[in-house]
Amino acid sequence: MSHDPIYVGLDYHQKSIQVCVLDAHGKVLLNRSCENSSAAIKTIIDRFDSAQVWVAIEACCGSADLADELVDQFGWCVSLAHPGYVSRMKQSPDKTDFSDARLLADLLRVGYLPKVWLAPEYIRELRRLVRYREQQAAAKKATKLRCGALLREQRLRCPHARPWTVAWLDWLRNTPELSEQGRWVMDQHLADLEHMQTKLAGVEARMRERCGDDSLIAFLMTIPGIGFLTAITIRAEIGRFDRFVSGKQLSRFCGLSPRNASSGERQADAGMIKAGRPQLRVVLIEAAHRLARYEPRWKDMATRLRRKGKPGSVVAAAIANRWMRWLFHQVQTPHLAA
């Protein structure tokens, strides 16, 4: 078996994978397509009989599961590449599977591959549950908006209760003022809402069962203002805190850091940076509003910023930014950071 390393670039597709193999000097040893399976890739790589196999695969839907298989079954060193950065580093305007696979292998060979974290299976499973709940919550919100639109269309308002309270729902189910077809449509929406609420309760129960012994989630829930859904979203989207070198890097990953837009003598801010999942940032901003009410430290910070004339949205973003930096240092113990 040869001790010379080989560098493998995998351009991932649902049905096939383009495999490019380079030697240590950048010579193309092979560049061909095979079926999308770890066994097919192993058959190709085995012909080179190398003890050191370095693999790069672009992060996309399904690539993380394949990367896990290659690591667990064959012990290869597999890296996930950031698709946006890889695309910008490509000099040719043409895009082919042949050239994409070679670029991945070459970037890995020279040490310039822009990597992203390969989340373990436990975290990927949590993400599936968290994102499924997000989808159901979004569908429930959209249905509520349709109910409100139907009432506005027929110029109806409940005179004695606020929307979506028990009394308001009782009025909505029984009011005779809706038209015949309007009543039928509204009943469909209300039935959909009941079904969605059942699905939300089911997925939340499954989430609690899945992470009942997660020490990081338990720690987060001890912080006033941080509930289970916020804690599990942080756990699923961030994963491991020890993969960041500083609290500032973690905050930038969450999209909470201010973005500088300076040029020459002009010094300006341009809001927050566009990074991370938008839903994670939404959850953290909502948590910041609660922290400003319940935690004295963050309440004092909010008061100082408001006295300086900062609007509420800026205050919440600043608290979320500082809180994530603080949290980074609080979890730097092996049983919490993992």
Identify the CATH number of the domain in which residue 38 sits: 3.30.420.10
Neighbour-count burial for 100-116, b at 16+ CB within 10 Å, e otherwise: bbbbbbbbbbeeebbee
C-alpha distances (whole Å) from 305 to each of 12, 283, 300, 310, 317 are 48, 21, 9, 6, 11
On whether both 219 and 314 belong to a single domain, the answer is yes
Asked, for residue 73, whether it belongs to a domain, the answer is yes
Looking at residue 277, what is its pLDDT?
86
**pLDDT, averaged across the chain:** 90
Strand partners, 54: 7, 77
Does residue 263 register a pLDDT over 80? Answer: no
What's the rounded mean pLDDT across residues 245-264? 83
Q: Could you say which of 116, 145, 167 is where a domain stops?
A: 116
On whether both 203 and 219 belong to a single domain, the answer is no
Looking at residue 273, what is its pLDDT?
75
Looking at residue 267, what is its pLDDT?
63
Does residue 265 register a pLDDT over 70? Answer: no
**Element containing residue 131 per DSSP (H, E):** helix 121-153
Q: pLDDT: is 21 or 90 the higher one?
A: 21
Looking at residue 303, what is its pLDDT?
93
* Sign of the torsion formed by the C-alpha atoms of 308, 310, 311 and 317: negative
Asked, for residue 274, whether it belongs to a domain, the answer is yes
Asked, for residue 1, whether it belongs to a domain, the answer is no
Asked, for residue 232, whether it belongs to a domain, the answer is yes
Q: What percent of the chain has pLDDT over 90?
A: 69
Asked, for residue 142, whether it belongs to a domain, the answer is yes
What's the rounded mean pLDDT across residues 51-58? 91
Does residue 318 register a pLDDT over 90? Answer: yes
Asked, for residue 173, whether it belongs to a domain, the answer is yes
Q: Could you say which of 116, 149, 169 is where a domain stops?
A: 116
| DSSP H helices in 211-257 | 215-220, 228-238, 247-253
On whether both 236 and 322 belong to a single domain, the answer is yes
Residue whose structure tokens are 């890739």? 41
Under a CB-based contact definition with an 8 Å cutoff, are residues 255 and 273 in contact?
Answer: yes
On whether both 43 and 140 belong to a single domain, the answer is no
On whether both 167 and 225 belong to a single domain, the answer is no
Neighbour-count burial for 278-289, b at 16+ CB within 10 Å, e otherwise: eebbebbbebbb
Q: 144: domain range?
A: 122-210
On whether both 222 and 253 belong to a single domain, the answer is yes
Does residue 337 register a pLDDT over 70? Answer: no
Asked, for residue 169, whether it belongs to a domain, the answer is yes
Q: Which residues contact 39 (CB under 8 A, 6 or more apart)?
A: none
On whether both 243 and 316 belong to a single domain, the answer is yes
Q: Could you say which of 116, 144, 168 is where a domain stops?
A: 116
On whether both 187 and 288 belong to a single domain, the answer is no
Number of independent structural domains in the chain = 3
On whether both 251 and 319 belong to a single domain, the answer is yes
On whether both 39 and 96 belong to a single domain, the answer is yes
Count of alpha carbons within 13 Å of 303, Cβ hemisphere only?
7
On whether both 196 and 291 belong to a single domain, the answer is no
Looking at residue 50, what is its pLDDT?
83
pLDDT (tens digit per residue) in 100-138: 999 999 999 999 999 988 899 999 999 999 999 999 999
Does residue 291 register a pLDDT over 90? Answer: yes
On whether both 71 and 128 belong to a single domain, the answer is no
Question: CA dihedral defined by 118, 10, 276, 90, rounded to 10 degrees?
Answer: 140
